[in-house]
Amino acid sequence: MGNVAVVGAQWGDEGKGKIVDWLSERAEVVVRFQGGHNAGHTLVIDGVEYKMSLLPSGVVRPGKLSIIGSGVVVDPWALLKEIEAIREKGVEVSPQNLKLADNAALILPSHGALDRAREERSGEKKIGTTGRGIGPAYEDKVGRRALRICDLADRRTLEERVDQLLLHHNALLRGLEKPEVERSELLSALLAVAPRILPYADAVWRLLDEARRGGKRILFEGAQGAMLDVDHGTYPYVTSSNTIAGQAAAGAGVALAAVGFVLGITKAYTTRVGSGPFPTELTDETGALLGERGREFGVVTGRRRRCGWFDAVAVRQAVKIGGIDGIALTKLDVLDGLDEIKFCTAYRRGGALLEHFPAGASAGAEIEPLYEVAEGWQASTRGARSWAQLPATAIKYIRRLEEVIGAPVALLSTSPEREDTVLVRDPFAD
């Protein structure tokens, strides 16, 4: 039995939370390896909703070890709030079943202030961030200014790091005409949160190595999606980290060979939050219908998601770049009852035919989708748990998507409920 990495194959919000939760029954360890609390996921278990941003989805299952890796940037106050919220719903979270990488970088209040100030200053050219400080936190990590979890255990080091960081942050805040951060207030807040966070801290790379040597199955949980990858996405309208499966090894602290089967999650249509190119976007009644049926609102921000037809070009690119071995297709039931369903198989820019998403921002904004049209189905797919329960036309649509994206469907999700899942190929068996 191997390990599995779960990643988004579109612009995020593909339904990774449910799939990771469903797969975590077969795993002993679940690891979040990148992103921050800008990415949310919702689990629905026996009618109860669990909304999480930093916590790995496996935390809702007893007996599983959940890990937040060093590739994640962590807002300690947001993490503690999330832990308390899930405890109120009867889920046990403690240092015995949740571990936090001691070398993970922290998100501070000033990161959020900088994030929001930049977006405000950018006006119509804003990227569309969540304003949670994820981008500035990654900037400080790369710039070697970041505070890390381990720094909370050493007051002398903590004070030195705070001084170095505020020298940079306050200069930026002054330039943006925003209030500066008071050193004493920030230091007091960090010293207060330290004893609540440090019990979760550990050298998680060591724990993962022990798990591998012990033959335990590991599930690597990604956030956002391939088209939001800082290198391979629709730059600059991207997140601030690498979202593809190649980041799982670095962000968790394991050998590349440990990652195993890569499962890409994709909706049966396409959505996007925030600014940036979206070739198949629908601004008509069909787009509104997809958004209403799919409950397309961001878990973290509540923002309405932009909706459109399935973009096979973008997913095909994600499959190749991310080394995706199989697809988990979600929200098929949202397409129930449509007379016809379109999906994009290529782009046109001017007189040129394109079979990939161009890197240039202007080129990405100018491409025109070229569609195939599939016959819709009038029967319901919601709650189906086997191929036999699906309409023949729905199966035909799925098979055609497999052909144009170059990857087989390994899992099919037909509702938010945990058990409404069709298993075609067990990723852990590879």
What are the tokens at 175? 């330039």
Query: Does residue 37 have an active-site annotation?
Result: no
What are the tokens at 79? 């993490």
Cβ neighbours of residue 268 closer than 8 Å, sequence gap 6 or more = 310, 329, 330, 331, 332, 334, 335, 397, 401
Cβ neighbours of residue 385 closer than 8 Å, sequence gap 6 or more = 414, 419, 420, 421, 422
Q: Is 299 helix (H, G, I), strand (E, B) or coil?
A: coil
DSSP state of 273: -
Residue of 37, 41, 111, 232 marked catalytic: 41
Residue of 13, 75, 229, 333 marked catalytic: 13
CA 273 to CA 303: how far, in whole Å? 7
CA 101 to CA 103: how far, in whole Å? 5
Contact status, residue 232 vs residue 295, Cβ threshold 8 Å: no
User: What interhelical angle do 109-122 and 155-175 show, nearest 10?
Assistant: 20
CA 86 to CA 52: how far, in whole Å? 8
What are the tokens at 373? 């049209």
Contact status, residue 286 vs residue 278, Cβ threshold 8 Å: no
Contact status, residue 304 vs residue 274, Cβ threshold 8 Å: no
DSSP state of 314: H
User: What interhelical angle do 155-175 and 183-197 show, nearest 10?
Assistant: 130
Query: Does residue 111 have an active-site annotation?
Result: no
CA 187 to CA 192: how far, in whole Å? 9
From residue 307, how far is each of 32, 114, 243, 279, 319 by CA, in Å?
27, 30, 21, 11, 21
From residue 284, how far is each of 21, 289, 310 by CA, in Å?
34, 9, 16
CA 248 to CA 316: how far, in whole Å? 20
As annotated, the active-site residues are: 13, 41
